Amino acid sequence: MRQTFFIGILIVGVVGGIIYFLWTIGAALYEDWVMGKDVNKIKADQQQRRKERLEESRKRLDNGCEHVFGQTLGGFPLDACRKCGLQRERPAGPCDHVWKPANEPVPCSYCEKCGKRYVSPTIRDDPHSESS
Ligand SMILES: [Zn+2]
Ligand SMILES: [Zn+2]
């Protein structure tokens, strides 16, 4: 009778151990799975956002102008289109500047929308130009 009791304890112990072991593995796998799902979701979100940004910048530049970037005269932002004044990439800040060259002794340009003045960094030392 006592022997049966001990065997019973042993079986319960072993079975309990196995269940605990399986549970630990299951929990770890579940955690991995949840984390993997999160990572995939974050990646998908990032891709989606990148796509939206690209689409947005494509639409932004799609104004009928055959943009000419990087071939500007003095006093005109290098990354702005010589023809329509739009910058290749949307500048930081509230205004999406549209640059128009100004007819001034110092080569410079002004934003049509917000009036910001642009002067080439090379001639910024000129006392007539204001730094921005
Ligand atoms: Zn243009
Ligand atoms: Zn502006």
pLDDT score of 57: 86
2-61: pLDDT as tens digits = 788 889 999 999 999 999 999 999 999 999 999 999 999 999 999 999 999 999 888 999
Biggest distance spanned by C-alpha atoms of the chain: 112
Q: Hey, which residues does 101 pair with through a beta bridge?
A: 109
Q: How many CA atoms lie less than 13 Å away from 41 in the CB half-sphere?
A: 6
Look at 37-46, 65-74, 84-93 and tell me which has the smallest mean pLDDT: 65-74
Burial of 82: CB neighbours in 10 Å, binned 0-12, 13-18, 19+: middle
Ligand nearest to the CA of 80: 1
Is pLDDT of 75 > 90?
no
Is pLDDT of 72 > 70?
no
Cα of 112 from ligand 2 centre, angstroms? 6
Cα of 132 from ligand 1 centre, angstroms? 24
Is pLDDT of 1 > 50?
yes
98-107: pLDDT as tens digits = 999 998 888 8
pLDDT interval class at 131 (50, 70, 90):
very low
Cα of 75 from ligand 2 centre, angstroms? 15
Burial of 128: CB neighbours in 10 Å, binned 0-12, 13-18, 19+: exposed
Cα of 126 from ligand 2 centre, angstroms? 23
Q: Which residue has the higher pLDDT, 95 or 3?
A: 95
